[in-house]
Chains A and B, each alone.
Chain A
Amino acid sequence: MHKKNLSELAAGLRSKEFSSVELTQFFLGRISQHQDLNAFITVSAESALQQAQAADQLLAAGNAGPLAGIPIAQKDIFCTLGAKTSCGSKMLDNFIAPYNATVVEHFNSAGAVMLGKLNMDEFAMGSSNENSFYGPVRNPWATDCVPGGSSGGSAAAVAARLAPAVTGTDTGGSIRQPAALCGITGLKPTYGRVSRYGMIAYASSLDQGGPMARSAEDAALLLQTMAGFDLKDSTSVDQAVPDYSTGLNDSLQGLKIGLPKQFFSAELDSQMAATIQAAIAEYQKLGAEVKEVDMPNLNLAIPAYYVIASAECSSNLSRYDGVRFGYRCKNPADLTDLYTRSRGEAFGAEVKRRILMGTYALSAGYYDAYYLKAQQVRRLISDDFKRALSEVDVLMGPVTPSTAFKIGEKTSDPIQMYLEDIYTIAINLAGLPAMSIPAGFIDGKPVGLHVIGNYFSEAKLLNVGHRYQQVTDWHQQAPKGFE
């Protein structure tokens, strides 16, 4: 059952090859069998089976949608009524949300079954999933390596076939980078395409939820359920959601692919470059045309990102003060002690680092030099993308500088860790949609191809991904022990 894609699973449910309850039990079994990956923070077996029973009735009645009865899992950043939502933090280890995120509501209405909540870097800050209060997640392709982050649990769960498809969120690469490192398909939609209501905020102007699945075809089905305007999110965009599946097979004849020369500089690892070039050659065979584009401001993306994201997070995380919910220190002496110890004891090092950076960047006397300057840089970067995307249909390049690295390898050097996102961060600053699709292996570890499109061009990206997946089988390969 774990080898089937979403439409095969839907067909199986309809032909009564298996019931949703059986399917759910099967995946719950795989999750429990592969606990050592540490992909899940919470497994909600009981409620999953209840949802499966309800889905079976819906299926029997014959009016169920494409995701009815299909098990999925949520990144533990989406609030779920009744199940713990920790955001990977000790701060929220005791937090049970009294409401569902809009994305969760969408899956519930579609009749999907939620297997549980996936591990992640604390408050989505990290590129290796080593910043989780619940411990690191292992990469199924090399269990001594990281799965990437912050949606590390999501990527590992899909790669290990513990769930057919899952959700992730991407603030600076948190869907695409782990998708690349785990050999799966991950799409970060246009900012505003998926509601952020109930998705715990890290950096509000950059955060965006999206699907993580084995193929573009599956990702299309997931995005169909996730996307849409939400009155509860003022930054969601009131624009009709197209059918993401109908155009999957459209021809790529004449597709214009831009290759930002800054993505292919001398610093890019030669094996990585060769793998990406091979994937692009495959597109040329499908009829695409390739040209180089210049995006002179891309090198400013990382500093601009770390100012803006940190500034927003320093404010977004102020609500975790030990007063109303979440962790509270024992026997606070006074109010200041309550604040400082609750936050000091419950936040991890990376979260504290970013709160401090952000607080500094917003402080009187520094605001213009940091925050305002970063916003100006952000505009320049967006303009670079706009210019490039007026000449070509999509941009392509690597997702990561290298394949999955060893657990512990970069934890002592935050700058090295930040450079993990060198190719992904600019896209968030511009608010564009982008995707990582499996494009080969280096030393047995997956490589992701980065496909970036214009605003609201998710259907095009999925089409570009799907056609490639029709002529390659990278996305169908399973790590050893998880076949």
Chain B
Amino acid sequence: MNSQWEAVIGLEIHTQLSTKSKIFSGAATAYGAEPNTQACAVDLGLPGVLPVLNKDAVRRAVTFGLAIDAEIAPHSVFARKNYFYPDLPKGYQISQFELPIVGNGHLDIEVDGETKRIGITRAHLEEDAGKSLHEDFHGLTGIDLNRAGTPLLEIVSEPDMRSAKEAVAYMRKLHELVRYLEICDGNMQEGSFRCDANVSVRPKGQKEFGTRAEIKNINSFKFVEKAINHEIERQIDVIEGGGKVVQETRLYDANKDETRSMRSKEEANDYRYFPDPDLLPVLIEDSLKDEVRATLPELPDAKKQRFIDQYALDNESATTLTSSRELADFYETVVKASGGEAKLASNWLTGDVLGALNKAGLEISDCPVNAGRLAGLIKRIADNTISGKTAKQVFDKLWNGSDSADEIIEKEGLVQITDTGAIEAIVDKVITANPVPVEQYRAGKDKALMALVGQIMKETQGKANPGEVNKMLIAKLKN
């Protein structure tokens, strides 16, 4: 970005709450069912039906509010947002407008080593709409109302972000949080976590915000970054070209990597919000807040700090290991089962294990090497039964089979040679057989030592401890 300009970004994130049934009906919310098989009379908006609020959705909203240190409204109100659309069965969406359930909280993000606090204006409950299907209907449009009535928590940030990078960091942090709290499955392909971005630019130093554009429905971290960056550039181009940014809604086209206008402010709907007379105000008592607070899990920031303090981890490893609750739990299980090998466990998890998972496209919950088996491996590294190099071999076998580390080491004869006499005999043999590098080393060429170590490791089939070999070799050569 041109350094004269500053971007101002706020995000609205729709998180689908993972309740069993819909927010105002008893129909199931499971994804991927045959069209219109998970829509009951209430979801279809049939004449005479009435909404009944799902208490679990309220509880999840309260959980979120407490986790971001927000105000939980003792009295919040559902309102109708009126507009016509074929996949909006009632002709209005039940949402919250003036009195949302969650107000005024915050989330801390970290970008380039700096911590920044992002304000969260509000979070409100609402129902999702259905889906219009434009393919397979020969020019007509099909309507699938399975998704209609799925509970959403719309989380609205303050315009506190100044770059696409910050926006992505915020979005990732929020994604991590809702999954920690187990209020949302976070599945972005299935639309469980969707983002609208409000973007404007202003000359650096100016206090007033520029005119903003809203980019709708961006469903991946990568696209959020691209879409925002593209939009920032577009707006700067418009202004520098002597034009004015118009307030409008834009759509991001991932294929063309561009945003395009959807509708201007003038074309925007007047939603005619008013309190939904079919629903009573939502009253949240302190007892519910206390009850939810008592069941809150350890939150990512607290967990990360604890990992740093308790396991002496560096910031980066702690960040990685606490990026999901499952990974953090996995880590702690390994540490415990390995008898407290915190450092080794961290190295192995953030390195080989995550690398292998990534390559295989698996989540930690599907890891073929469970925490107990990984701990078995780490124990053998810690007590010098095997070398680090051998350990990688063992890990491959753990990944591809069902044997324990001990069984693999046993079967493959991978136990490190700890018998000093046996190693000494091989060292002596190699010194005798390689007079050239021996002379070179004695003449001051340290590199020559590597050739000798390599020979010794070859002779021991890698089962000698390289550190021990080094020590012994140097002692002998100096004699």
Contact = CB atoms under 8 A, between A and B. Distances in A.
Interface of A: 78-79, 85, 87, 92, 95, 97-99, 101, 196-201, 203-205, 231-235, 311-312, 314-315, 317-319, 321, 323-325, 335, 339, 359, 362-364, 367, 371
Contact of A324 (B49, B50, B89): B89
10 contacts: A98-B46, A203-B277, A204-B278, A234-B279, A235-B280, A323-B89, A324-B89, A359-B272, A363-B272, A367-B274
Nearest to A123: B47
Q: Which of B47, B89, B278 has the most CB of A within 10 A?
A: B47
B410 to A, nearest CB: 63
B80 interface: yes
B319 interface: no
B91 A315 contact: yes
B5 interface: no
Nearest to A78: B48
Contacts of B91: 315, 317-319, 321
How large, as a class, is the contact surface on chain B?
A: 20 to 34
Chain A binding surface, main DSSP class: loop
Interface string B79-105: 010101010011110000000000000
Contacts of A363: 270, 272
B292 interface: no
Given A319-B89, A339-B84, A79 B274 contact: no
Contacts of B84: 318, 321, 339
Contacts of B90: 318-319
Nearest to A199: B48
Interface string B32-74: 0000000001001111111111000000000000000000000
A121 B359 CA distance: 68
A85 to B, nearest CB: 7
A201 B80 CA distance: 15
B382 to A, nearest CB: 59
A371 B274 CA distance: 9
A234 B47 contact: no
B323 to A, nearest CB: 40
Contacts of B51: 234
Interface in B257-304: 270, 272-274, 277-280
B82 A235 contact: no
B426 interface: no
Chain B binding surface, main DSSP class: loop
B49 A234 contact: no
B143 interface: yes
A362 B278 contact: no
Contact of B278 (A97, A235, A318, A319): A235
A198 B280 contact: no
A90 to B, nearest CB: 14
A362 B143 contact: no
Contacts of B46: 79, 97-99, 325
B282 to A, nearest CB: 11
A309 B48 CA distance: 16
B128 to A, nearest CB: 17
Contact of B52 (A101, A199, A231): A231
Nearest to A205: B277
A98 to B, nearest CB: 6
Contact of A234 (B41, B45, B52, B82): B52
B277 to A, nearest CB: 4
A232 B52 contact: yes
Contacts of B279: 234-235
Contacts of A335: 86
B27 to A, nearest CB: 14
A204 B89 CA distance: 18
A169 to B, nearest CB: 11
A273 B273 CA distance: 43
A79 B48 contact: yes
B270 A312 contact: no
B21 to A, nearest CB: 14
Contacts of A321: 84, 86, 91
Contact of B53 (A87, A199, A234): A234
Q: Which of A318, A324, A325, A335 has the most CB of B within 10 A?
A: A318
Contacts of B50: 196-197, 232-235
